[in-house]
Chains A and B, each alone.
Chain A
Amino acid sequence: MRRLLFESVFRQPLTEQAPTPGDAAVAELATALGSAARRRLGRSLSIREIDAGSCNGCELEIHALNNAYYDVERFGLRFVASPRHADVLMVTGPVTKNMREALERTYQATPDPKWVVAIGDCARDGGCFAGSYAVVGGVSEVVPVDLHIPGCPPTPTAMLQGLLALLERADTAAVTS
């Protein structure tokens, strides 16, 4: 373990190896997100993830946000275990009828101000599951949605981009209200 930790001290951080435009975009977003989040919430934004019936594809990519390449915690964005600690609810999946009440109750348990980000094509309108007897539809059928991030599933980069857009909107709302 010591050797591995020692090596890590001398290894280039993975996040700074930015040879491709994709990686550069992540770094760019990182800076912008950092300053916007700081203005609004003192550099801290807590996210609670809710799977409202997804296939788990979106969850895999949300997990990736925490890996060393995307490392969302550098920007003050962190995933929390309870809706009562959250500023943002990230909701995935077509909302199934069996999950509707759980989503509503989680939303109600989240203190104001709060934002809802619907992740993935299914969360927009039910995606390929729309019309099923067991599916309500998109997240906005159940709780108000501030932002959709499309994709099946969206890439971690797309999710970072989306969170940035949300922060700027939240900022504008705060100024105008």
Chain B
Amino acid sequence: MPSLIDLALEGRKVPQHGPWPRVIVDTSVWRFTARELAHGRWNLLGLWGEPATVHMAIMDGDTSEIAVVGLDCPNRTYPSVGMHHPPALRLERAINDLFGLSAEGLPDTRPWLDHNRWGLRFPLGDHIEALPTAAPYPFLAVEGNGLHQIAVGPVHAGIIEPGHFRFTASGETVVRLEQRLGYTHKGIEGLMTGASLERAVQLAGRVSGDSTVAYAYAFSRAAEAALELVVPDRAVFLRALLAELERLANHLGDIGAVCNDASFALMHAHCGVLRESVLRAANAAFGHRLMRDVIVPGGVARDISADGAETIQAALDNIRLRFPALVELYDNTASLQDRTVDTGILKPALASQYATGGYIGRASGRSFDARQNLSYAPYDSLRLQVPVLNEGDVNARVWIRVREVEQSLSLIDQILNRLPEGPLGANAAHRVEPREGMAIVEGFRGDILVWLRLRDGKVERCHLRDPSWFQWPLLEAVIENNIVADFPLCNKSFNCSYSGQDL
């Protein structure tokens, strides 16, 4: 098996791309890479376009070696990766919608983000006029006796993001779910182009509201990789503190919300109180409940407040006091277990094929956690145990969250105990020449990838890949043969981002 480094030698290495190598390859190496992905030798981390280039980020699952492979496509076509490796399908459809680059051999050429409402086509490439009439979106055909369809969304019944779900059911059993997303497409990558770093990090923090810290973190680290900027120690630790608070708040909210979808409101109420306590502590410590706009390229925009550490510690003590009883309640309520155990099973093979991150991957045997596998600072010096289960059901995804709450509590303790003194940020020298950087940060939902090219102090191209790209398609798989009423449970246990995917 060739290592990624060997592959890198096959192409023309791009200078000033950090921290992982990027190579420009020809179509034969591109095809070879697609086949290696299909054979499961490598993981697909991302696939994105530029007006006349496609890029693919890949990782060796065993060694966590990473490389970016680029292919110039002057004829506006490139060999499809998705025809060999299904996780690339939606990414290739999105590349076509945004750039007008078509994947040769792509089995599904329906538009994905483009609902023919923008007034133009290929907004990030050489754009052309929109089609005169919006063709109805052809859903995949489902045939059989007694099947009926249930159309849900884009406006859902709960307080959640918009998306369309097309269920085909036989009685109560779901035969097929097909998702139609893209409703919240805001054109963020278009707005990024030409933006200053200050504006770009603000946009990055608004890709997905529940991961605002993680996105600002990933964007900043990518910019720092490009500019070879060293972040001062205090900022490094404060960033991890912010990230863990965000993870803690989201996991606590999710554990309650999954139970609520089984109509077990007691857990929801108590978990909601704990989540609120984290948000209030975050507000006291950093001046914003969701900790927005705190992480910036070079460091952090503001320090933790004078009594911030104490407030956070008090919130942690309260969670340590109250949370175990809730976990026990979850574990000992038969009616709740009846809903979550064996429901919505994601097979480890699928999790591994899609290189699914976060609690979804870790509940289905894929142990990858960017904090551990890529061990970026300060996680390289903190104790962290990554929980892994193999059952892959809703219950396992709840348990992974429970264990991660415990880990985040421990990490926050470690960070507060060791928070170094010193400056909060570093300034980069102005660079005229193009410089590229990439970063992968573990958000609460999974690994967020940001790739960018800076030129003359501005963003020339920035791609932000939400973990949901490799999670949404699996939700279609896990709901099969479950009853319609269990969909909310499966969906909440995944908790994929609409806005992060639609971008």
Given contacts A1-B266, A49-B159, A98-B183, contact A56 B208 (CB under 8 A): yes
Please, which residues of chain B bring their CB within 8 A of the CB of A131? 191
Would you call A61 and B289 a contact (CB within 8 A)?
yes
Given contacts A67-B273, A102-B183, contact A54 B117 (CB under 8 A): no
How many Å from the CB of B111 to the closest CB on chain A? 11
Please, which residues of chain A bring their CB within 8 A of the CB of B326? 4
Chain B 186-219 residues near chain A, CB threshold 8 A: 186-188, 190-191, 199, 202-203, 206-210, 212
Asked if A5 is at the interface of the complex by the 8 Å CB criterion, the answer is yes
Please, which residues of chain B bring their CB within 8 A of the CB of A94? 186
Please, which residues of chain A bring their CB within 8 A of the CB of B210? 56-57, 60
Q: Size band of the B side of the interface?
A: 35 or more
Q: Which of B187, B253, B329, B497 touches A133 (beta carbons < 8 Å)?
A: B187
Which residue of chain A lies nearest to B269 when distances are taken between CB atoms in the complex?
A68
Given contacts A56-B161, A79-B159, A98-B185, contact A4 B325 (CB under 8 A): yes
Q: Which of B13-21, B100-108, B118-126, B368-376 makes up part of the contact surface?
A: B118-126
Would you call B190 and A56 a contact (CB within 8 A)?
no
Asked if B308 is at the interface of the complex by the 8 Å CB criterion, the answer is no
For A71-115 the 0/1 string (1 means CB < 8 A from B) is: 000000001011100000000011011111110001000000000
- A interface residues, tally (CB under 8 Å): 49
For A114-149 the 0/1 string (1 means CB < 8 A from B) is: 000000000000001101111100000000000000
With the chains together, A67 CA to B279 CA distance in Å?
12
Which residue of chain A lies nearest to B256 when distances are taken between CB atoms in the complex?
A67
Which residue of chain B lies nearest to A61 when distances are taken between CB atoms in the complex?
B289
With the chains together, A54 CA to B289 CA distance in Å?
17
Please, which residues of chain A bring their CB within 8 A of the CB of B329? 1, 4
Would you call B157 and A82 a contact (CB within 8 A)?
yes
With the chains together, A132 CA to B186 CA distance in Å?
7
How many Å from the CB of A92 to the closest CB on chain B? 9
Asked if A161 is at the interface of the complex by the 8 Å CB criterion, the answer is no
Please, which residues of chain A bring their CB within 8 A of the CB of B187? 129, 132-135
Which residue of chain B lies nearest to A56 when distances are taken between CB atoms in the complex?
B209
Please, which residues of chain B bring their CB within 8 A of the CB of A50? 155, 162
Given contacts A59-B209, A133-B187, A153-B209, contact A100 B289 (CB under 8 A): no
Q: A83-B155, A133-B120 are in contact. List 17 more A-B contacts (CB 8 A).
A: A50-B162, A53-B499, A54-B161, A56-B498, A60-B253, A60-B290, A64-B272, A67-B272, A68-B273, A68-B276, A69-B276, A93-B184, A98-B184, A99-B184, A102-B183, A128-B199, A132-B187
User: Chain A: residues with CB nearer than 8 A to chain B?
Assistant: 1, 3-5, 14, 49-64, 66-69, 79, 81-83, 93-94, 96-102, 106, 128-129, 131-135, 152-153, 155
Chosen A-B contacts, 27 in total, with CB atoms closer than 8 Å, are A4-B266, A52-B162, A53-B186, A54-B184, A56-B209, A57-B206, A57-B209, A57-B292, A60-B210, A63-B159, A68-B269, A68-B272, A68-B276, A79-B159, A97-B115, A98-B185, A99-B154, A100-B117, A102-B155, A128-B191, A128-B206, A129-B186, A132-B186, A132-B187, A132-B190, A133-B118, A153-B209
